[in-house]
Chain A
Amino acid sequence: MFDMLMLGLNDALRLDTFIWIGGGLLLGMLVGALPGFTTSMGMSVLVPISFLVGDPLIGIPFLIGVYKGGIYGGSVPAILISMPGTGASIATVLDGYALTKKGQSRKALEMSLFSSGLSDFFSDIFTLVMIIPVATVVLGFGPPEIAAVMFLSLVIIAVTSAGPAVKGLIMLGLGIWVGFVGADPFSAMARYTFGTTELYDGFHLIPILIGLFALPEIFNAVKEGDTRGKRISTFVGERLRLQELKNSFRTIFRSTMIGTGIGIVPGLGQPIAAMMGYIAAKNASKYPEKFGEGELDGVAAAESANNAVNGPTMIPLLTLGIPGDSVTALLLGAFMMQGLRPGPTLLESSGNVVFAILIAMIFANVLFVIIGYLTIPLFARVVTIKKSLLIPVTIMLAFAGTYLARSNPFDIITLISFGLIGIAARMAKFDVAPMVMGFILGRELEYAFGQTLALAGDDWIHFAFRERLGMTAILLATPLVGTILGFRMNRFRRRSLDSDRK
């Protein structure tokens, strides 16, 4: 493994990789800074481009750049016009906008940048350190344990999705069901193909991702009509002083720990991390009453927590093939398009590529802070760009990206079909993320489940309670974990709402 790490270090230090990461960071910041554009939407239309460049050491770091840039970029409209660019920046509005109203938007934006960069850097190092022991443990997993872990992850993703758990479970079921379209993994018999050859290989992931994430956003923009951010005195006030950053180190460290912990668990994601980081900082502060009134610590807490999630989400993705959120689901699609299959054997088969990507992620943070610092004034203006100029370009990228992934016209029909499902789901306030996870993991779960049945033979009791105790323990824990998380999420949402109102 250490040899792989060294090879990865060698592979990561390539100029073209860094140029593409830089491009990804810029595009991500642009997408994040535009109110109404989400990181998922930006990434979904850019995944095919990462495939077209051909090299996984360019394509994947490019997307990781978009991811990192997007999460940070969301803080720009949150601070300047009280409109979070992404869900991850909801907590940033509370103090960020208050600072803007006080004429200190520059300070708030710089605090957001530095706290994001620092937390991202440390959580990426944690990811690199942790991935080897986790991968070693996972390597000992057989189909029963993999099936049990997938089942647990899917339940967590469903109950922690936006809205009530029951809605998440319905979307999860629908996603798994859609994944059955095509050939059965064991007998290769056709399922739900209606006799067509196009459906025999099943639906391709890319049109589903673009359809479910990008088209509903475009639809929403069309509904709202041409809007632009409020005209503001964008970038004013004093610079952030080093002492002010130092004063927030304790908060940044705490939020980094919170974000890192949340990043490892599939399904929780940045918005929860940001809110938890913010609440923790407020509770730990000597002056909690200042939070919400323009406290720099509030910006640092929210931004460092949401960016710390980015790295650790790669741990379940790379070792188990389980994406933690919609953005990592897109990364999974990008890995698969590059011929890399995330899962227990990925580090063995392509360890150097994985380590190169993780090391590039760490170096990308330095680039992130430099690019971010230089472009803050630019992105502060981007907030006011008219939607009517950007939406047509986005829809073109959605269509072209879908077609380019496989050059199959049927994928365009899939894009539209899933776009309509995404639009209906959004109107009904259903989160599409569990559906995507169900689609991605459903077939894998079925395969592992089938293999488990074959391994178990007829003596199930002996198999479950003597041979595969790990599997049984995870399966028995799943309803308990699901119920506890469901209740905690409900309580957390109520607390966040209260905090928002205050």
Chain B
Amino acid sequence: MAKFPADVVFVIGALVLAVLGLLFGGWLIVDPPILLSRDILAMNPKVFPTLVLFFILLVSLIFLATESRKGSLAGNTLKEGSPQSSVALYRQVGFVGLAVGCALLLTTLGFLATMFLLMTGTSLLVGNRSSLQIFAISLVTPLSFYMIVTYMLRTQLPEADIVERTLAMIINALNT
């Protein structure tokens, strides 16, 4: 299976974005409702983005032309991954999935539950196998942080109503 180097793939991505930006600039940038003279509107909203997109396009093409001369665009054969690298790949994919999932769940589940999931998952992915350590870190750190932010710095973190009420009750009980 042919495979391009990562930097070439990245630049191809940038190039595609630049082309799409140029092609669909008319739809993606709203025109002023009335034609304003240059005294009022110094520059049309499309001018600068178009210049920048042409710049990205040009520099990406220069990069690809240079790589092509080096032979990088000819493609290499994909080597079979060693078992170790596939484990690393699973860990990476797992981390991305976990981070995306927790980002989407943060406002629904609340800070403490989401951070517990995120920290437990990350600890396991990094390779911690001590359940006591994982449990302690994932529970105590977010809880302490939540208390400091909410009760000392008076700033809000997203939290489920029931958890907020329970914590407030505990704090009140401790105060009295």
Complex Cα–Cα for A450 and B38 (A): 10
- Tell me how far the C-beta of A324 lies from the nearest C-beta in chain B, rounded to whole angstroms: 22
* Of A129-137, A249-257, A300-308, A424-432, the one with at least 4 CB within 8 A of chain B: A424-432
Of A176, A191, A403, the contact of B157 (CB 8 Å cutoff) = A403
Complex Cα–Cα for A226 and B88 (A): 11
Q: A residues 402-450 with Cβ under 8 Å of B?
A: 403-404, 407, 409, 412-413, 415-416, 419-420, 423-425, 427-430, 442, 446, 449-450
Contact A170 B14 (CB under 8 A): yes
Complex Cα–Cα for A225 and B95 (A): 12
A-contact 0/1 string along B11-27, CB 8 Å cutoff: 10110011001000000
**Interface membership of A247, Cβ < 8 A:** no
- Tell me how far the C-beta of A120 lies from the nearest C-beta in chain B, rounded to whole angstroms: 30
Q: Which residue of A lies closest to B9 (CB)?
A: A428
**Interface membership of A363, Cβ < 8 A:** no
B-contact 0/1 string along A181-199, CB 8 Å cutoff: 0001011011110100000
**Interface membership of A392, Cβ < 8 A:** yes
**Interface membership of B127, Cβ < 8 A:** yes
Complex Cα–Cα for A407 and B150 (A): 13
A-contact 0/1 string along B118-151, CB 8 Å cutoff: 1110110111100001000110011001000100
**Interface membership of B66, Cβ < 8 A:** yes
Complex Cα–Cα for A65 and B22 (A): 44
Complex Cα–Cα for A223 and B5 (A): 19
Contacts of B11 in A (CB 8 A): 170, 428
**Interface membership of B102, Cβ < 8 A:** yes
Contacts of B28 in A (CB 8 A): 191-192, 194
Q: Given A173-B55, A226-B128, A389–B137 Cβ distance below 8 Å? A: yes
**Interface membership of B169, Cβ < 8 A:** no
B-contact 0/1 string along A384-414, CB 8 Å cutoff: 0011110111011101100110010100110
Complex Cα–Cα for A262 and B122 (A): 39
* Of B40-48, B75-83, B160-168, the one with at least 4 CB within 8 A of chain A: B40-48
Contact A400 B103 (CB under 8 A): no
Contact B122 A391 (CB under 8 A): yes
Contact A189 B45 (CB under 8 A): yes
Contact B158 A416 (CB under 8 A): no
Contact B153 A52 (CB under 8 A): yes
Contact B96 A389 (CB under 8 A): no
Complex Cα–Cα for A52 and B152 (A): 10
Contact B7 A167 (CB under 8 A): yes
Q: Given A184-B45, A189-B29, A392–B138 Cβ distance below 8 Å? A: yes
Of A222, A396, A423, A453, the contact of B118 (CB 8 Å cutoff) = A396
Complex Cα–Cα for A395 and B117 (A): 12
Of A223, A388, A400, the contact of B128 (CB 8 Å cutoff) = A388
Contact B10 A430 (CB under 8 A): yes
**Interface membership of B74, Cβ < 8 A:** no
Interface of A is mostly: helix
Q: Report the interface size for chain B: residues with CB under 8 A from the other chain.
A: 71
- Tell me how far the C-beta of B57 lies from the nearest C-beta in chain A, rounded to whole angstroms: 9
Contact A395 B56 (CB under 8 A): no
Contact B6 A180 (CB under 8 A): no
Contact B103 A412 (CB under 8 A): yes
**Interface membership of B68, Cβ < 8 A:** no
**Interface membership of A177, Cβ < 8 A:** yes
**Interface membership of A215, Cβ < 8 A:** yes
Q: Which residue of A lies closest to B5 (CB)?
A: A428
Of B21, B36, B153, the contact of A177 (CB 8 Å cutoff) = B21
Q: Given A215-B99, A392-B119, A428-B9, A221–B126 Cβ distance below 8 Å? A: yes
Complex Cα–Cα for A174 and B63 (A): 15
Q: A residues 20-52 with Cβ under 8 Å of B?
A: 52
Contacts of A338 in B (CB 8 A): none
Q: Which residue of A lies closest to B49 (CB)?
A: A180
A-contact 0/1 string along B77-102, CB 8 Å cutoff: 00000000000100110111001101
Of A221, A407, A413, A454, the contact of B156 (CB 8 Å cutoff) = A407
Contacts of A64 in B (CB 8 A): none
Contact A449 B48 (CB under 8 A): yes
Contact B42 A223 (CB under 8 A): no
Q: Which residue of A lies closest to B153 (CB)?
A: A52
Contact A454 B56 (CB under 8 A): no
**Interface membership of A496, Cβ < 8 A:** no
Contacts of A400 in B (CB 8 A): 111, 115, 142, 145, 149, 157
Q: Given A180-B49, A180-B52, A404–B9 Cβ distance below 8 Å? A: no
Q: Which residue of B lies closest to A394 (CB)?
A: B122
Q: Given A176-B52, A388-B127, A189–B31 Cβ distance below 8 Å? A: yes
- Tell me how far the C-beta of A341 lies from the nearest C-beta in chain B, rounded to whole angstroms: 21
Contact A222 B63 (CB under 8 A): no
Q: Which residue of B lies closest to A215 (CB)?
A: B99
**Interface membership of A169, Cβ < 8 A:** yes
- Tell me how far the C-beta of B10 lies from the nearest C-beta in chain A, rounded to whole angstroms: 4
Contacts of B18 in A (CB 8 A): 173, 177
- Tell me how far the C-beta of A76 lies from the nearest C-beta in chain B, rounded to whole angstroms: 22
- Tell me how far the C-beta of B60 lies from the nearest C-beta in chain A, rounded to whole angstroms: 6
Question: Could you show 15 A-B contacts with beta carbons less than 8 Å apart?
Answer: A169-B59, A180-B48, A189-B32, A226-B127, A388-B123, A392-B123, A392-B141, A396-B118, A403-B106, A403-B111, A403-B158, A409-B158, A413-B103, A420-B96, A429-B6
Which residues of B approach A to under 8 Å, CB–CB? Answer: 5-7, 9-11, 13-14, 17-18, 21, 28-32, 36, 38-39, 41-45, 48-49, 52-53, 55-56, 59-60, 62-63, 66, 88, 91-92, 94-96, 99-100, 102-103, 106-107, 111, 114-115, 118-120, 122-123, 125-128, 133, 137-138, 141-142, 145, 149, 153, 155-158
